[in-house]
Amino acid sequence: MRISALYRSTLLRYFVASFLALLVDVAVLSLSLRLLHMSLAWAATAGFVVGAVVAYILSIRWVFSERALANTPWVEFLGFVGIGVVGLGVTQFVLWLGTAGLGIMPELVKLAAAAASFLFNYLARRSLLFIARSRIARGEDLV
Residues 94/113, Cβ–Cβ less than 8 Å:
yes
Arithmetic mean of pLDDT, 15-29: 95
Q: What confidence score (pLDDT) does residue 112 get?
A: 85
Q: Is residue 52 part of a domain?
A: yes
Residues 24/55, Cβ–Cβ less than 8 Å:
no
Q: Is residue 14 part of a domain?
A: yes
Q: How far apart are CA 27 and CA 47, in angstroms?
A: 7
Domain count of the fold of the chain: 1
Q: Considering only 72-86, 92-106, 111-125, which range has the smallest mean pLDDT?
A: 111-125
Q: Is residue 143 part of a domain?
A: no
Report the chain's terminal Cα–Cα distance, integer Å.
Answer: 21
Mean pLDDT for all residues in the chain: 87
Q: What confidence score (pLDDT) does residue 134 get?
A: 56
| Residue span of the structural domain in which 114 resides | 3-138
Q: Is residue 107 part of a domain?
A: yes
Residue 6's pLDDT band (cuts 50, 70, 90): low
Q: What confidence score (pLDDT) does residue 42 get?
A: 96
Q: Is residue 97 part of a domain?
A: yes
pTM, to two decimals: 0.73
Residues 46/38, Cβ–Cβ less than 8 Å:
yes
Q: Is residue 81 part of a domain?
A: yes
Q: Is 38 left (phi over 0), alpha (psi -120 to 50) or beta?
A: beta
Residue 105 phi, psi (nearest 5)? -60, 135
Q: What confidence score (pLDDT) does residue 93 get?
A: 83
Residue 90's pLDDT band (cuts 50, 70, 90): confident
Arithmetic mean of pLDDT, 17-38: 96
Q: Is residue 80 part of a domain?
A: yes
Arithmetic mean of pLDDT, 96-108: 93
Residue 143 has pLDDT above 90, yes or no: no
Q: Which three-class secondary structure state does DSSP give residue 79?
A: helix
Nearest to 122, CA basis, from 10, 19, 25, 20: 10
Q: Is residue 125 part of a domain?
A: yes
